[in-house]
Amino acid sequence: MSYQTSNYGSGSSNWGGSGYQDCVNQCIASYGGMSGGGSYQATATSGSYGSSGNGATHTVIVAPTKGVFRFMPFATNASVGDTIEFHWGADNHTVTKSSELLPCNKSAEAPVFASGEQNENFVFRQVVNDTNPTFYYCGTPTHCEKGMFGVINPQMATPGSPTSLGGMMSSMAANDSDLSAYAAYSQNVTANNDVAAAWGTNFEMANMPEWSRSLMATNVLFTRATFGMNPDTINADGSSNLASVATTPLMIPMDISGALNAAAASTAASTPVANAAAAAATTSASAAPSTTAKPSSAMALASPKMLVGVVVVLATIFAL
Ligand SMILES: [Cu+2]
């Protein structure tokens, strides 16, 4: 199998090579500090289904808050006999077994599992029967297509492999300005947490359908950001520890749309700044609709120099 990486840096000839550090600083300023998108508080359950195994229990939060179509964490390592305990943070979501090749389709491969449509504070337990990668998704229409899928025992790549998430990230981000912008946000909120910042880098993506890869990357970035904002919830080995959410609300980071909106507001607010490059970039960005370039929210919001900075930072981080 071969994977196209030649698109990396496409368009960079328009970005110029100067002002890199200004760009990085402005990116950080634009995405703010630790601003988040809400919180999740575990409360008494409203109902539950499924029994527990003899091993450890791993918590996965289903849609941590309203409008955030994610599983947190995106991936969980578990042994045979362990229990995955799904906790709903918002209404109208499901946990339904799927497959790696078809992450948004109900799997017919035994043992199947499907929670049905459930609401906030529901708990669904699933005992792990084998250590093969097991995918699941939310069956509520449109949610999975927005990225609402997760995995138990993800396949791991050889560190540094070109088909690992880290190996593909810079080329994906170079071709997806929204992903690039969200990576900058996630990077910012994990700045002091190396384990969170590197979480998922070695996930294998070779078998994932191409359309799902940027969604998987976004899921990883969301999980990293959540760990970054709640350092007590990640262990040194990268496993999650969500036991504390029984007593302490979990801070939920902004999802990708929220991060892009915040960047837009910040960019608008900082327009008068005495920075010729930024001002020029703002002008060209506001003229973007008249160009033939495909409209993209982040492209319209961020200056080209900001983007090249983000991509360079990404290339550094994900090359690890
Ligand atoms: Cu859902």
Q: Is position 278 within any domain?
A: yes
Mean pLDDT of the chain: 78
For 100-109, what is the mean pLDDT? 94
Q: Which H or E run includes 114?
A: none
For 200-206, what is the mean pLDDT? 97
Answer yes or no: do 50 and 95 share one domain. Answer: yes
Q: Is position 8 within any domain?
A: no
Residue 259 predicted with pLDDT over 60:
yes
Answer yes or no: do 252 and 302 share one domain. Answer: yes
Domain residue limits at 129: 39-154
d(CA 202, CA 161) in angstroms, rounded, equals: 8
d(CA 170, CA 8) in angstroms, rounded, equals: 7
Q: Is the peptide bond before 73 cis (omega within 30 degrees of 0)?
A: yes
For the stretch 150-183, pLDDT in tens is 999 999 999 999 999 999 999 999 999 999 999 9
Answer yes or no: do 66 and 118 share one domain. Answer: yes
For the stretch 231-256, pLDDT in tens is 999 999 999 999 878 788 999 998 88
Query: Distance, CA 143 to ligand 1 centroid (Å)?
Result: 5
Answer yes or no: do 109 and 133 share one domain. Answer: yes
Given 154, 180, 205, the domain boundary residue is: 154
Answer yes or no: do 29 and 171 share one domain. Answer: yes
Residue 283 predicted with pLDDT over 90:
no
Answer yes or no: do 134 and 124 share one domain. Answer: yes
Q: Is position 7 within any domain?
A: no
pLDDT band at 94 (very low <50, low <70, confident <90, very high): very high
The number of residues making up the chain comes to 320
pLDDT band at 270 (very low <50, low <70, confident <90, very high): low
Query: Distance, CA 261 to ligand 1 centroid (Å)?
Result: 22
Residue 36 predicted with pLDDT over 80:
no
Answer yes or no: do 94 and 206 share one domain. Answer: no
Residue 64 predicted with pLDDT over 50:
yes
For residue 269, what pLDDT is reported?
Answer: 67
300 or 133, which is more confident: 133
* Amino acid letter, 190: T
The CATH number linked to 70 is 2.60.40.420
Answer yes or no: do 164 and 303 share one domain. Answer: yes
Answer yes or no: do 76 and 111 share one domain. Answer: yes
Q: Is position 160 within any domain?
A: yes
Query: Distance, CA 2 to ligand 1 centroid (Å)?
Result: 33
Given 154, 184, 204, the domain boundary residue is: 154
Query: Distance, CA 140 to ligand 1 centroid (Å)?
Result: 5
CB 234 within 8 A of CB 200: no
Answer yes or no: do 250 and 318 share one domain. Answer: yes
Answer yes or no: do 171 and 93 share one domain. Answer: no
Query: Distance, CA 310 to ligand 1 centroid (Å)?
Result: 30
Residue 189 predicted with pLDDT over 80:
yes
For residue 244, what pLDDT is reported?
Answer: 79
Answer yes or no: do 164 and 291 share one domain. Answer: yes
> In the chain, how many domains are there?
2
